[in-house]
Amino acid sequence: MFTSKNTAERTAAQAWDYLSSAMAAAGDSAKETADLAGKAGRKARKASRKASKQSYKLAGKASDKADVAWTRANAAYGALAGRRPGRPWGLIVGVGLLGVAIGWAAASSARAALERQAENEELELAETAVVVTPTYDTK
């Protein structure tokens, strides 16, 4: 009934159909996998940036705390060694400059107030001034 050539052709055609179906399914699966990988990559980059920012913040805080601890440890060591702490020159200079600025502002406002007062007195005198002309006797 069936010849071997027909059977071989049918088998080849069937194999071709299976192969093209498998290839199409693999292509779809690969496309979905690529899409999922792209989404995962974007989410991973976003998470990485967020983690990086948080790690920088935490590292900064840790560094600040380490600096404070180092300063305190040195101060404690100096106190145990009998040394007096140094003068806070930065604070002294800062307070001095603040005092100079406040003094300058107070002097400027006082000078301006005195000038305004002098002008007002001058205007008042000019308004109330009576001109007296002496009379001469011509006799």
Query: What pLDDT digit, counting tens, does each position of 14-41 carry?
Result: 888 878 778 877 877 888 887 788 888 8
**Looking at the whole model, is its pTM more than 0.75?**
no
For residues 25 and 112, the model is more confident at 112
User: Which stretch, 118-122, 124-128, 134-138, has highest mean pLDDT?
Assistant: 118-122
DSSP 88: -
User: What would the two tokens of residue 40 be?
Assistant: 């995962």
The residues, any chain, with a CB within 8 Å of residue 85's CB and separated by 6 or more, are 75, 78, 79
d(CA 13, CA 1): 19
d(CA 43, CA 32): 16
For the chain, domain boundaries: 1-86, 88-123
Mean pLDDT of 45-61: 83
